[in-house]
C-alpha cells in the first residue's frame, strides 16, 4: 500500500490529513536555487521554517511521521540538519544531490538520528544512482519528476513515466532493497493525465511513496476545514479503492493502463507545442 505524503506547515491541516490516511506530513524548507530552476512555473515554493517542524510534530502527536525537505547541500547544511532533528523531524529529504559523495556527506551529518530520503531529481543523480545506493545510511528514496524533467529538457514531467525512465530508476533502487516512490498525484477522477492512471502505475511498478499534490487539496484556495476534511477522506479512500482494484489486475490490464498513460502524455505534449 502506498504511503501518502502531504506538504503543509499548518498544524490543523496536518492533523486532518493524518486522521484521514496521510502517512507522512512534509514540512518544505527548500528555497536555495528553487526560484531560479522553476521560475515562471506553477509549482509550490513553500518557505516553511524549522520551527514549523516542532509545531506540526506536536499537533500530530504520533498520528503521522514528520518529514523535512532541506535545502540542497550547502555550507549551512549541518546546522540545518541538526535543527530539523532537534525540532522533531522523523525523516530528512535531501533535494538536488548529484553524486554518491553528496549522499555520503549527507549521511555523515545525519549520523543515524533520523531516517533519510534523498530526492532523485538531477541527471547526474540518475547516472550515479548505482554507486549512490551503496552509501550506508540511505533509508528511502523518492524520484522527483518536476526538477528531473527540467534537468533533462523535457516538456512535461510525466514523460519520465511514459518513456520508462521512472521504471528503470525504480528497478535499480528496488534491486538495492531500498523503499522508493515517485512524483505526486491529484485526486482520482481529476487531471488531464488522470490520477487513476497514475495510481495504477504506482501499483504496477511497486512504488511505495507518493506525494499528494497541491491539486489534491489546495488549501490556499480551500479554507473551510470541513471541506478540507471531506476532500482528504474521499480522496484517500479513492486511492485505496484503486489500489485494491489493481491488486486483481492481470499483466495485460496493467499494460493497457500504461499505454493510456503514454497516449495522454503524447496529447498533453502536443498541446504544449501549439
C-alpha cell at 24: 507522512
pLDDT given for residue 36 in this prediction? 63
pLDDT given for residue 271 in this prediction? 87
pLDDT given for residue 43 in this prediction? 52
| Residue 32 dihedral angles phi and psi, to the nearest 5° | -65, 115
pLDDT given for residue 234 in this prediction? 98
pLDDT given for residue 191 in this prediction? 86
pLDDT given for residue 37 in this prediction? 52
**Residue ranges, the chain, pLDDT below 70:** 34-46, 274
pTM: 0.93
C-alpha cell at 55: 509545531
| Rounded Cα gap, residues 54 and 89, in angstroms | 8
Q: Are 122 and 151 in contact (CB under 8 A)?
A: yes
Amino acid at each position: 500500500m502506498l504511503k501518502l505524503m502531504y506538504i503543509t506547515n499548518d498544524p490543523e491541516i496536518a492533523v486532518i490529513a493524518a486522521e484521514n490516511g496521510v502517512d507522512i506530513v512534509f514540512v518544505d524548507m527548500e528555497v536555495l536555487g528553487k526560484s531560479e530552476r522553476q521560475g515562471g512555473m506553477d509549482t509550490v515554493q513553500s518557505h516553511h521554517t524549522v520551527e514549523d517542524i516542532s509545531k506540526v510534530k506536536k499537533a500530530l502527536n504520533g498520528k503521522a511521521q514528520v518529514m523535512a525537505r532541506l535545502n540542497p547541500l550547502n555550507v549551512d547544511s549541518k546546522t540545518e540538519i541538526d535543527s530539523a532533528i532537534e525540532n522533531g523531524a522523523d525523516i530528512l529529504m535531501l533535494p538536488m544531490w548529484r553524486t554518491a559523495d553528496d549522499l555520503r556527506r549527507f549521511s555523515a551529518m545525519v549520523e543515524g538520528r533520523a531516517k533519510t530520503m534523498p530526492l532523485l531529481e538531477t541527471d547526474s543523480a540518475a547516472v550515479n544512482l548505482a554507486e549512490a545506493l551503496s552509501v550506508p545510511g540511505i533509508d528511502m528514496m523518492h524520484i522527483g519528476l518536476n526538477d528531473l524533467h527540467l534537468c533533462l529538457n523535457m516538456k512535461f514531467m510525466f514523460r519520465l513515466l511514459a518513456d520508462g525512465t521512472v521504471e528503470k530508476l525504480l528497478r535499480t533502487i528496488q534491486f538495492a532493497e531500498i523503499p522508493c516512490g515517485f512524483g505526486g498525484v491529484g485526486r482520482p477522477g481529476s487531471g488531464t493525465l488522470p490520477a487513476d492512471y497514475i495510481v495504477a502505475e504506482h501499483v504496477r511498478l511497486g512504488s511505495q511513496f507518493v506525494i499528494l499534490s497541491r491539486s489534491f487539496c489546495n488549501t490556499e484556495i480551500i479554507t473551510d476545514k470541513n471541506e478540507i476534511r471531506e476532500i482528504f477522506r474521499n480522496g484517500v479512500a479513492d486511492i485505496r479503492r484503486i489500489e485494491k482494484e489493481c491488486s486483481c489486475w492481470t499483466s495485460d490490464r496493467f499494460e493497457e493502463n500504461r499505454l493510456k498513460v503514454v497516449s495522454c502524455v503524447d496529447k498533453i505534449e502536443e498541446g504544449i507545442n501549439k
